[in-house]
Amino acid sequence: MSSEPNETPLLRLQRIMLSLRKECSWDSKQDFASIAPYAIEEAYELVDAIERGDMDDVRNELGDLLFQVIFHACMASEADLFNFDDIATTIADKMERRHPHIFGKHIFDKGAPDNRNNNHEWEDMKQAERAAKSQTGLLDDVPRPLPALTRAVKLQKRAARVGFDWADAAPIFAKLDEEIAELKAEMSATPD
């Protein structure tokens, strides 16, 4: 299948996806849940190509990952939920919102931007986004399906941002004792 006149590669891919959804028995049967594992697999294959330094394979795997986005966008469009342009607009808006030091009003504590200020602002923005989704906790938006070790690292990094990080084990046990004492106090104060 070749490109139509004046057709961008992205439009060509979207056109191919529409044809697959209409004409391919396998593609036409898929839904969000059935192809979700492929998105994860493609992401891991991309990471593998990056770690191997194989830029030809990186290009191929990025294409496979893009195809997953196009596939999901096509299914969403069929269900009148959203489309590819909505996805692109959403991420563009998010990146501009999360980088006010580049795209908008930005006030730094002491003049020039630095990573410390950017990190604080990033966390403030993430907290506002969590609140808008009724996710009030620092850990609420850590995806549950992440591989266990990856999720544990992400949870630990989040906890470290609010003081749950120690150089050695002794203070950890002191903190655990403190938390257990608080739990016991709450349990004894709460009627059965």
Backbone angles phi, psi at 167, to 5 degrees: -80, -30
Give the span between the Cα atoms of 51 and 58, in whole angstroms. 10
- Inside any domain, residue 162: no
pLDDT band at 109 (very low <50, low <70, confident <90, very high): very low
Mean pLDDT of 155-168: 81
- Inside any domain, residue 9: yes
Q: Side-chain half-sphere of 26: how many Cα atoms within 13 Å?
A: 1
- Inside any domain, residue 126: no
- Inside any domain, residue 169: no
Q: How many domains in the chain?
A: 1
State residue 168's pLDDT score.
85
Residue 110 clears pLDDT 50, i.e. is over it: no
Q: What six digits make up the tokens of 113?
A: 């931007």
pLDDT of 46-62, one tens digit each? 999 999 999 999 999 99
pTM, 2 dp: 0.66
Whether residue 101 contacts residue 82, with contact meaning beta carbons closer than 8 Å, is answered with: no
- Inside any domain, residue 68: yes
- Inside any domain, residue 125: no
State residue 53's pLDDT score.
96
User: Residue 56's domain is classified under what CATH number?
Assistant: 1.10.287.1080
Mean pLDDT of 173-188: 90
Mean pLDDT of 69-82: 98
- Inside any domain, residue 145: no
Q: What is the mean pLDDT of the chain?
A: 86
Whether residue 103 contacts residue 96, with contact meaning beta carbons closer than 8 Å, is answered with: yes
- Inside any domain, residue 70: yes
Task: With both helix axes pointing from N to C terminus, report the angle between 9-23 and 55-78 in degrees, rounded to the nearest 10.
Answer: 60
Mean pLDDT of 135-153: 79
Q: Which domain holds residue 46?
A: 1-82
